[in-house]
Amino acid sequence: MTKLTISLAQMRIKLARVNDNLATATNMIAQAAAGSADIAVLPELWSTGYDLENAQEHAAQLGQAIFAQVAEAAQANRIAIYGSLLERHGDRVMNCATLYDAAGELRGVYRKIHLFRLFDEHLWLSEGEAPALLQQAWGTTGLAICYDLRFPELFRHYAVAHGAALMLLCAEWPLARAAHWRTLLQARAIENQCFVAATNSCGETGGTVFGGHSMIIDPWGQVIAEAGEDECLVTAEINLAEVQRARRAIPVFEDRRPDAYLAD
């Protein structure tokens, strides 16, 4: 499977209004499926926004509550779904991204490694402890959440150690730093010669205006699909064979010299 159709579900998240956000998400998932998308990518913490003071109340275990509802939506619409929610993980609460396949089966779990201090994540949430890579019919895929975008080491690990051809990222990235969003997304695609599909939220939530501009970027750094700053669904088909073409044309990975710059 070299061709993959991706829908980015750019939502205006309503702070702490889980049922309203779920209704918006399920409607956009259904629209994506009707448009023959293989996967719908939702924003970060799309069911609650950054209502972290009430994170303990919102959090659910994998397979239960909101996670079970996402699985049901995936199965009902025959579409894979990626996005992050608040997870109860033992006695901790995590910012947890999941990928459910079109049968509603859980295929990938990524708990956010880099917590965003500007939004007080470190005060309310626990850090993830490992990257998450998954094998799907379309190929090897790396998972990430928002602030992770500022840490190129994670994406390099996915690409160099595992050959990932696609990176999925869900975010709530403020409009004030929209220029960083675009530049960093393109950088991660160019330096790793892979596709990057990133969904952001939009509009005002909890006193912060989020930037939108969800986008899909190819291995050459070209933006092949992009949303504006309003709630919308953006869909595009990618050809993953382009990854190997880019890596053959400019053999960056073969020319790396970790012995020179990663030595103790």
Structural domains in the chain?
Answer: 3-251 (3.60.110.10)
- Residue 146 annotated among the catalytic residues of the structure: yes
Task: Tell me how far CA of residue 85 lies from CA of 20, 82, 236, in angstroms.
Answer: 15, 10, 25
Strand, coil or helix: 93: strand
Q: pLDDT tens, 31-65?
A: 999 999 999 999 999 999 999 999 999 999 999 99
Cα 163 to Cα 141: distance, rounded to the nearest angstrom: 9
Q: pLDDT tens, 105-146?
A: 999 999 999 999 999 999 999 999 999 999 988 989 999 999
Q: Answer left, alpha or beta for residue 36, where phi above 0 means left and psi between -120 and 50 means alpha.
A: left
Strand, coil or helix: 198: strand
* Residue located via tokens 């991706």: 6
> pTM for the whole thing?
0.96
* Residue located via tokens 């990057």: 196
Burial status of residue 89 (CB atoms within 10 A of its CB: 0-12, 13-18, 19 or more): middle
- Residue 44 annotated among the catalytic residues of the structure: yes
- Residue 3 annotated among the catalytic residues of the structure: no
Considering 44, 87, 121, 172, which one is annotated as catalytic? 44
Average pLDDT over residues 148-159: 98
Helices (H), 43-163: 55-58, 65-77, 121-124, 152-156, 162
Are the C-beta atoms of residues 108 and 139 closer than 8 Å to each other?
no
> Taking 80 as the threshold, does the pLDDT of residue 263 lie above it?
no
Considering 87, 96, 112, 194, which one is annotated as catalytic? 112
Considering 96, 121, 146, 194, which one is annotated as catalytic? 146
